[in-house]
Structure formats: structure tokens, C-alpha cells
């Protein structure tokens, strides 16, 4: 973030208010628009009564809401911050911008962490999960997450706004990490709320994969054991000989577990790839000069990857969730006359 000149210098002020458009803010506009539209469409599907009744869906809704809120609050102000060399929107709007890029951004990462924790619970203690996990419990967990990020991240934004913020007209809109209390807060929250959860999410995925792989192996072995002997006629399922209710329920539960794991796979690795550059930058600013060309390049790359992350989540859900695919297919058929 470039330091602006003094506001009482007319020639410098005029220059600083000249928009300097590059590829980064243009990409942010495109991905931000896509994020709101795609997340909104998926949110409509997830909020349907039959889908919202599933506890796991609550965590997906929580992630969609965090994505939309982050884009609506952060993207417009990030574009202004990118194309102008001086922050001219004032102290209050700067606080809103920092709120989006600290509190709401942390909510996005935390919402993804909740999905991973949910799958850890479901795969490690499946019986306990089915008995004790409910939609009400999922809602309370998500509300607790929002309370946590506001207390932990909001405290630093508030402290900066009240006591330590440098003049935004000359120093830009940023947390004053040179102040010792904010520097300590920033380092602790960066590692505990961003870096470590992202790394642990990748590690947890491999643990969940081993559990799921073992379950798949047991299921294949069971199918072999119950398979009819060679030459024996397999009974045909008809209206007079339907499958048992328990078999149907187990089949549906197995399909939902496989779908949840597929969602976890897509979300975990897409978010890992898109979030690592931005968190590398925000960690590096505490240890290196942010004004170097290398840091500037990392900032531009991380901004693009961060904006892509929120837009990709609904695409992944559309790929992996049957109900979302059906809704989008019906929508295209009704309004575009295709997908027959």
C-alpha cells in the first residue's frame, strides 16, 4: 500500500485521485460479480426445506454467507484502494474495509475449518455423530464461530481505530502493525486464525481420507461376502419383492457420506491453493518490507487468488451435489431453453 502525500499539496492530491486501472482490480470486479451470483444461486438451493434439514448443509450455508458478505463489504473498497494511491474515503469507511479483510475474511477461513471438523467428527465417531449432531447444534456452532471471530479479530480492528491508526490520507488504510500491541495481536491472530487452520485442514484431510478409504474397503469386502455363489440366481427386486427399509436408508446414508467427502476434497484443496498466497503475504509483512517489488507482486497474485476462492466454492458444490445440479439444470431449461 503506497503512502500518499500530504493532502494540502494540490498537485499531488490531484494525481493521487487519478485512477490507475490494472488487471488486478478488473479481475476482482469479475470474480466478485460471479461470487455474489453463484453463491446466491447455491444458497437458494441449500435453503430449501428438504436440504436445510440436513445438519451438514448448515455449514455450507454458513460458508456461502461468509463468502457473499466478504465480497459485498470488501471488494468495492479493495478496488478503490487498488486504483488510487491515496485513501480518500475517510476514517469510518477505512474501518469497514479493515473489518471485511480481518473479521469477515477470518470467518471465511473458519467456516471452511468447521466443514473439516464436521467431517472429522463424522468419520472418527460415526455413531456419536449420528446420535448427537443436529441442525440446531450446527446452527449454534456456526453462531459461536461468528462470535469468536468478532471478539478475536474485531478487537484489533477496534483498537487500531480508537488508538493507533495513522492518518489515512497520508498513510493509507491499514492496521498500524508498527504499534507494539497491534503487532503482537496481528502475529498471534495471523498464525492461530489463518495459517494454522489452513495447514491443519490439509493434514486433517489425509486422516479423513484414510478413514474413508478403510470404510470403502470394508464395504467392498462385505459385498463380496454376501454375493451369490456362481450359478445361483440372484433375486430380482420387484414391487412384490422390494428392498428393506433399512437397506434403503443405509444406501442413502452411504451416498450422502460419499457426497460429503467429495465436497470436502474439492473445498479443501481449492481453498488451500487459493488462500496460501494471501496468507503468505499477510504473514510476510510482519517480517519483511512490504514495499519491495517481490512483496508487491505477491500482493497482486494473492488478491486475485483470494477473489477466485469465493467464486469457486459454489462451482464446486454444483459439481458435487446432486440437488444443486438439478436446480441449475432446471433453471437453465426454464430460462434458456437448453439442457433438455
57 pLDDT exceeds 80?
yes
pLDDT band, very low/low/confident/very high, at 2 (cuts 50, 70, 90): very low
| All cell numbers assigned to 137 | 447444534
16 pLDDT exceeds 50?
yes
- Rounding to the nearest 10 degrees, give the CA dihedral for residues 198, 1, 101, 186: 60
253 vs 308, more confident: 308
280, part of any domain: yes
6 pLDDT exceeds 50?
no
| All cell numbers assigned to 135 | 441442525
pLDDT band, very low/low/confident/very high, at 4 (cuts 50, 70, 90): very low
What CATH number is given to the structural domain containing 184?
Answer: 1.20.1070.10
- Which residues are within 8 A (CB) of 260 and not within 5 positions of it... i.e. 6 or more apart? 56, 119, 122
146-160, pLDDT tens digit by residue? 999 999 999 999 999
pLDDT band, very low/low/confident/very high, at 248 (cuts 50, 70, 90): very low
> Which domain, by its residues, includes 106?
10-224+250-322
Please provide the average confidence, as pLDDT, over all residues in the chain: 79
271, part of any domain: yes
Handedness of CA 105, 109, 112, 114 (dihedral sign): negative
32, part of any domain: yes
178, part of any domain: yes
161 pLDDT exceeds 90?
yes
pLDDT of residue 1: 40
What average pLDDT score do residues 96-114 get? 93
Q: How many domains does the chain have?
A: 1
pLDDT > 90 in the chain, percent = 26
Of 35-39, 67-71, 168-172, 303-307, give the lowest mean pLDDT range. 303-307
Give CA separation, 306 vs 96, 129, 317, in Å: 18, 33, 18
pLDDT > 70 in the chain, percent = 76
306 pLDDT exceeds 60?
yes
pTM as predicted? 0.78
| All cell numbers assigned to 220 | 467392498
14 pLDDT exceeds 60?
no
Of 36-40, 93-97, 224-228, give the lowest mean pLDDT range. 224-228
Of 10-19, 202-211, 295-304, give the lowest mean pLDDT range. 10-19
Of 111-120, 227-236, 317-326, give the lowest mean pLDDT range. 227-236
167, part of any domain: yes
106, part of any domain: yes
240, part of any domain: no
245, part of any domain: no
Amino acid at each position: 500500500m503506497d503512502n500518499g502525500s500530504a493532502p494540502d499539496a494540490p498537485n499531488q492530491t490531484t494525481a493521487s485521485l487519478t485512477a490507475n486501472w490494472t488487471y488486478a482490480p478488473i479481475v476482482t470486479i469479475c470474480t466478485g460479480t460471479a461470487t455474489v451470483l453463484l453463491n446466491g444461486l447455491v444458497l437458494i438451493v441449500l435453503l430449501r426445506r428438504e436440504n436445510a434439514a440436513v445438519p451438514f448443509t448448515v455449514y455450507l450455508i454458513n460458508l456461502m454467507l461468509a463468502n457473499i458478505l466478504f465480497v459485498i463489504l470488501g471488494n468495492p473498497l479493495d478496488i478503490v484502494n487498488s486504483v488510487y494511491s491515496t485513501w480518500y474515503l475517510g476514517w469510518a469507511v477505512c474501518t469497514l474495509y479493515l473489518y471485511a479483510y480481518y473479521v469477515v475474511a477470518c470467518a471465511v477461513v473458519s467456516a471452511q475449518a468447521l466443514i473439516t471438523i464436521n467431517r472429522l467428527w463424522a468419520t472418527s465417531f460415526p455413531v456419536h455423530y449420528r446420535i448427537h449432531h443436529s441442525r440446531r447444534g450446527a446452527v449454534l456452532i456456526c453462531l459461536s464461530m461468528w462470535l469468536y471471530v468478532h471478539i478475536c479479530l474485531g478487537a484489533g480492528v477496534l483498537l487500531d481505530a480508537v488508538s493507533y491508526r495513522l492518518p489515512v490520507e497520508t498513510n493509507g488504510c491499514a492496521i498500524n502493525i508498527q504499534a507494539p500491541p497491534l503487532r503482537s495481536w496481528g502475529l498471534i491472530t495471523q498464525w492461530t486464525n489463518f495459517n494454522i487452520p489452513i495447514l491443519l485442514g490439509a493434514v486433517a484431510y489425509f486422516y479423513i481420507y484414510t478413514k474413508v478409504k478403510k470404510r470403502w474397503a470394508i464395504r467392498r469386502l462385505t459385498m463380496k461376502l454376501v454375493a451369490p455363489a456362481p450359478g445361483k440366481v440372484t433375486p430380482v427386486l420387484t414391487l412384490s419383492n422390494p428392498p428393506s427399509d433399512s437397506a434403503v436408508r443405509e444406501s442413502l446414508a452411504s451416498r450422502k457420506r460419499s457426497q460429503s467427502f467429495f465436497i470436502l476434497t474439492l473445498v479443501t484443496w481449492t481453498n488451500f491453493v487459493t488462500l496460501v498466497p494471501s496468507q503468505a503475504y499477510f504473514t510476510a509483512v510482519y517480517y519483511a518490507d512490504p514495499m519491495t517489488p517481490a512483496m508487491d507482486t505477491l500482493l497482486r497474485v494473492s488478491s486475485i487468488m483470494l477473489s477466485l476462492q469465493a467464486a469457486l466454492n459454489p462451482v464446486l458444490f454444483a459439481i458435487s451435489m446432486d440437488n444443486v445440479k438439478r436446480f441449475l439444470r432446471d433453471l437453465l431449461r426454464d430460462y434458456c431453453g437448453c439442457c433438455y
